């Protein structure tokens, strides 16, 4: 049977415009926190939401017009989002609250939502048409902090896509902002959760000689060695994998009894880290790493992070192992490492990260022989309702984060399970698929012993 033809369609865009706050806003400087302000967050993150036609809600109204007007109203409350980033002494980032606005693009596409298929998941066809990279808008400094494109579909549905400067907020902060736009689009007069800036709460401690109190190996400067796996950027394969209750149950049966009540995140991360390492074939003695993004909002008590805070508030704890040990030892070995890394995150840990940022010149997290995973199942992208109901899909527009293909994966909620987009060199992807299939096979132990 011939493979299905890729979906191709045409998008007609109007000229990009700047949407400014609908009312007067303060003209001031607001500093980012020392958690926001790290080299590894200086990039644009794309998100996409697919919405069906809904005859019962806002029937006859134009989603482009409704969302554009609601966006302008929301920017009165979230006025820093309409500003521009500047850089001060020590590369310190700050928002110049100029009220210049965010980029907005109106578009139409000659394609229906049904044409994308039942399984809406990255990679999406013609993404560059659904989220147009306006020339000159993609920078971190002196550029719009947010770009939004709303594309009407031929079926009456629409696609809401955006690109965000990650230094300004994380996934939870972005969803808070989107919900504010959505509430105003549905007729609200103000957001139900008012935004809180308070970035100083996550600043380095202003004490003489303050130094990090944790090792923070996630920020080690790890060189690529001769035997390390090198990601071939010109030969990447992109696939999404589904893990339902059955697949997770099979993985749990590979664990010792003491670990079988661990979280889905723990066992899934351990499985993917192991399979990816086997697929990339590093030297058995090479150290490989997995970074687990941990939302740290609930870890703060003195003072607590207030409701409405929309800055970055996550940690990047790392688990490390020799590649050979990870590939040959039971899955419980990797689960223990993941759980130990996540367990380090506390208020003191976050204070220590902020101290490190200032003391070490805001380093980038390690990328050599590293896999980064981010669980977005509770972020709330799938709950954002502009008046046409919840999205058929809401979440990352691409399988990974940052400018380094193959480095990372998101965990995306799906009906009865989790979707995980993965990017790897084509040759490694074949091995990765085989390894995953082995591990979720109920007879994995017998298969492994026969290899």
Structure tokens at 74: 């929301």
Assign domain 217-449 one CATH number from 3.40.50.720, 3.40.50.300, 3.50.50.60, 3.30.559.10. Answer: 3.30.559.10
Query: CATH number for the 11-202 domain, one of 3.30.559.10, 3.40.50.2300, 3.60.15.10, 3.50.50.60?
Result: 3.30.559.10
- CA–CA distance, 27 with 437 (Å, rounded to integer): 56
Categorize the per-residue pLDDT at 231 as very low, low, confident or very high, splitting at 50, 70 and 90.
Answer: low
226 versus 110: the higher-pLDDT residue is: 110
Query: What is the structure's pLDDT at 1?
Result: 39
Between CA 364 and CA 404 the distance in angstroms is: 12
Cα distances from 325 to residues 267, 291, 319, 367, in angstroms, run 17, 18, 13, 20
pLDDT digits (tens, 9 = 90+) for 422-447: 999 999 999 999 999 999 986 655 54
For the segment 334-353, what is each residue's pLDDT rounded down to a tens digit?
999 999 999 999 999 999 99
Strands 158-165 and 44-51: antiparallel
370-380 pLDDT, tens digit each: 999 999 999 99
225 vs 227, residue with greater confidence:
225
Which token pair is 160?
């809401």
Q: Domain ranges in the chain?
A: 11-202, 217-449
Q: What is the dihedral of CA 238, 379, 84, 349, to 10 degrees?
A: -100
Catalytic residue, candidates 34, 166, 336, 355: 166
Q: Quick one: which of 400, 263, 396 has its CA closest to 335?
A: 263
Stretch among 76-90, 151-165, 212-226, 230-244 having the lowest mean pLDDT: 230-244
Buried b (16+ CB within 10 A) or exposed e, 46-59: bbbbbbbeeeeebe
Told to judge if 217 belongs to the known catalytic residues of this protein, a careful annotator would answer no
Please check the confidence at residue 195 and state whether its pLDDT lies above 60.
yes
Contacts of 112 (CB under 8 A, 6+ apart): 153, 154, 155, 157
The answer on pLDDT for 63 being more than 80 is yes
Is 304's pLDDT higher than 90?
A: yes
Q: Is 238 a catalytic residue?
A: no
Provide the pLDDT for residue 226.
Answer: 45
Using a pLDDT cut of 90, give the percent of the chain over it. 82
Run of H or E including 85? strand 84-87
What confidence tier does 403 reach under pLDDT thresholds 50, 70, 90?
A: low
pLDDT digits (tens, 9 = 90+) for 25-58: 999 999 999 999 999 999 999 999 999 998 766 5
């Amino acid at each position: 049977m011939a493979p299905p033809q890729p979906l191709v369609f045409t998008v007609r865009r109007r000229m990009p415009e700047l949407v400014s706050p609908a009312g007067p806003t303060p003209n001031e400087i607001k500093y980012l926190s020392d958690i926001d302000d790290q080299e590894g967050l200086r990039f644009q993150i794309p998100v996409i939401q697919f919405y069906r036609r809904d005859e019962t809600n806002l029937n006859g109204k134009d989603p482009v017009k409704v969302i554009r007007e609601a966006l302008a109203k929301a920017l009165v409350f979230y006025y820093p989002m309409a500003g521009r980033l500047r850089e001060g002494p020590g590369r310190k980032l700050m928002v110049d609250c100029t009220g210049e606005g965010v980029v907005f693009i109106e578009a139409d596409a000659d394609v229906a939502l049904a044409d994308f298929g039942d399984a809406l998941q990255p990679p999406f066809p013609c993404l560059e048409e659904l989220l147009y990279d306006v020339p000159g808008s993609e920078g971190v400094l002196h550029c719009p902090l947010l770009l939004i494109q709303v594309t009407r579909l031929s079926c009456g549905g629409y696609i809401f896509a955006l690109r965000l400067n990650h230094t300004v907020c994380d996934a939870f902060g972005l969803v808070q902002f989107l919900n504010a736009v959505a509430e105003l689009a549905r007729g609200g007069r103000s957001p139900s959760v008012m935004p809180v800036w308070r970035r100083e709460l996550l600043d380095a401690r202003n004490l003489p000689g303050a130094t990090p109190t944790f090792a923070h190996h996630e920020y080690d400067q790890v060189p690529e060695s001769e035997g390390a796996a090198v990601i071939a950027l010109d030969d990447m394969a992109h696939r999404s994998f589904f893990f339902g209750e059955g697949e997770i149950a099979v993985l749990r049966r590979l664990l010792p009894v003491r670990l079988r009540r661990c979280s889905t995140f723990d066992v899934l991360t351990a499985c993917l880290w192991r399979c990816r390492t086997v697929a990339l074939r590093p030297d058995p003695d090479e150290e490989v790493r997995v970074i687990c993004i941990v939302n740290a909002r609930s870890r703060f008590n003195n003072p607590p992070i207030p409701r409405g805070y929309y800055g970055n508030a996550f940690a990047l704890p790392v688990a490390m192992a020799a590649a050979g040990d990870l590939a040959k030892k039971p899955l419980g070995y990797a689960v223990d490492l993941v759980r130990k890394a996540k367990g380090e995150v506390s208020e003191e840990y976050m204070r220590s990260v902020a101290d490190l940022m200032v003391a070490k010149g805001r380093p980038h997290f390690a990328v050599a022989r590293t896999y980064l995973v981010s669980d977005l199942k509770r972020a709330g992208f799938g709950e954002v309702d502009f008046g046409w109901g919840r999205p058929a899909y809401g979440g990352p527009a691409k399988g990974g984060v940052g400018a380094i293909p193959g480095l990372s994966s998101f965990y995306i909620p799906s009906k009865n399970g989790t979707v995980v987009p993965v990017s790897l060199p084509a040759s490694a992807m074949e091995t990765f698929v085989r390894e995953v299939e082995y591990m979720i096979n109920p007879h994995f132990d017998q298969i492994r012993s026969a290899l």
